Amino acid sequence: MAENVVIDITDHKAVVDFCRLMAIDFVVVGPDAQVVAGLGDDVRAAGIACFCPSKAAGQLEGSKGFTKALCDEMGIPTAGYGRFNNEAAALAYLYTQGAPIVIKADGLAAGKGVTVAMSVEEAEEAIVDCFAGAFGASGAEVVVEEFMEGEEVSLFVLCDGTSILPLTTAQDHKRAFDGDTGPNTGGMGAYSPAPVMTREIYEDVLERVIWPTVRGLAARGTPYQGVLYAGLMLTADGPKLVEYNARFGDPETQVMMLRIESDLLPLLHATATGSLAGHDVAWKDQYALTVIMATEGYPGSYDKGSEIRGAEGLDSDILQVFHAGTRREGARLLAAGGRVLNVTALGGSVKEAQSRAYAGVDQIVWPEGFCRRDIGWREIARTAS
């Protein structure tokens, strides 16, 4: 669909120079690190429209403490917490709270900065590691947070600074192995929509989480323009914010892209240019589900370069295989990353989408790869009971 160009995206001047050279008039920024580094501001300063929150508003993802403070200011429901810049104070707070408890490095940590500690010892270790530099500067501040119990769900909302256009819901599967066991990953599979977020919960989240965020940032003079990805916990006391990401999710976007009927580009452009009011978005009345095929060893260390067979020619009206980390060597397709393929299918139910996705997975021959076999299990269990 597009041409890949080799540019160092941390070199903002190189990105801007390339846009000028090619007369590119709209830029969409994907990764969190570039949002937080202010690539959007630098592209806009060159007079080019850009789908990317400002560096100031991107702090929603770049600093957990920033988001917690905004929640306090605006009364947004979230876990109780303390925010610390030294080990002794964080430990003292931990001892007053006990376990289970959640320890978070303040800044970006590639999905690895959060420890859900079941014991005080585990929490102590996480705090000590953070201040010892396990996450570099991202761990110089630590958020110690109340443990929330419930089911997680994500809501995606476009926001142009003042107007919003809610997109849809999805449920991610963060743990590496079946039954939500094993280490946290960037996401091993997802489906959309997520019926666990009922109409009532959705309206409640818009009113008590999304709107206060949008209004709060606008009132501070740092309006949010981009996609707000709200990670929510559906607790016994109602929905609470777990975290914000200031970008689209991976693999949540893959399932959204199979379902979207509207043209995405005008929506992104309207978001970036403050003209979202009046826009609408249409979705297929179907579920989409994606299964991640990852290299054995992920999210730990893994080898690159193993051969994948049977992954091409599978795409149809109901199935699409997204390549997340592959490369070609002659006629061969090789694994070139941790999360490598996203086998994504549509269906009339989560279960149907699931069986179609796994039918696709089963055609792919890759001995060095693995996937979860239970993506969608919560919803399937719910509809079966």
Closest CA to 322 of 310, 340, 304: 340
Taking CB under 6 A as the criterion, the residue among 243, 296, 352, 368 binding ligand AMP is 243
Contact 310, 362 (CB under 8 A): no
Q: In this structure, which amino acid lies at residue 371?
A: C
Interface with ligand AMP (CB under 6 A), residue total 13
23 φ/ψ angles, rounded to the nearest 5 degrees: 55, 40
Strand partners, 293: 341
Phi-psi region of 193 (alpha: psi -120 to 50; beta: other; left: phi over 0): beta
Binding of ligand AMP by 33 (CB under 6 A): no
192/205 Cα distance (integer angstroms): 17
Verify binding: residue 53, ligand GLY, rule CB under 6 A.
Answer: no
Q: Which is nearer to ligand GLY, 16 or 241 (CB)?
A: 241
Q: SS3 breakdown of the chain: % helix, strand, coil, rounded to 5?
A: 30, 30, 40
Among 30, 166, 212, 231, binds ligand AMP (CB under 6 A): 231
Which residue in the shown chain puts its C-beta closest to ligand GLY?
187
Per CB under 6 A, which of residues 315..344 are in contact with ligand AMP?
A: none
Rounded least distance, CB 256 to ligand GLY, Å: 12
> Nearer Cβ to ligand GLY, position 42 or 61?
61
Q: Report the nearest approach of ligand GLY to the CB of residue 45 (Å).
A: 28
Query: Looking at the DSSP assignment, which residues form a beta bridge with residue 78?
Result: 241
Q: What does 77 interact with, of ligand GLY, ligand AMP, none (CB < 5 to 8 A by kind)? A: none
Other Cβ atoms within 10 Å of 184 Cβ, number = 16
Beta carbon of residue 81, minimum distance to ligand AMP (angstroms, whole number) = 8
79 binds ligand AMP (CB under 6 A): yes
Structural contact between residues 380 and 350, judged by C-beta atoms closer than 8 angstroms: yes
Q: 225-264: which residues touch ligand GLY (CB under 6 A)?
A: 245, 249-250, 252
Query: With binding defined as CB under 6 A, does residue 12 bind ligand AMP?
Result: no
CA distance 144 to 83: 6
Among 107, 113, 187, 239, binds ligand GLY (CB under 6 A): 187
User: Per rule CB under 6 A, is residue 152 in the interface with ligand GLY?
Assistant: no
Number of residues that bind ligand GLY (CB under 6 A): 7
Give exposure, 119-154, as e/b (b: 16+ Cβ within 10 Å): ebebbbebbeebbeeebeebbebbbbbebbebebbb
Among 42, 124, 160, 172, the residue binding ligand GLY under the rule CB under 6 A is 172
| Residues near ligand AMP, by CB under 6 A | 79, 102, 114, 116, 145-148, 152, 174, 231, 242-243
List of residues contacting ligand GLY (CB under 6 A): 172, 186-187, 245, 249-250, 252
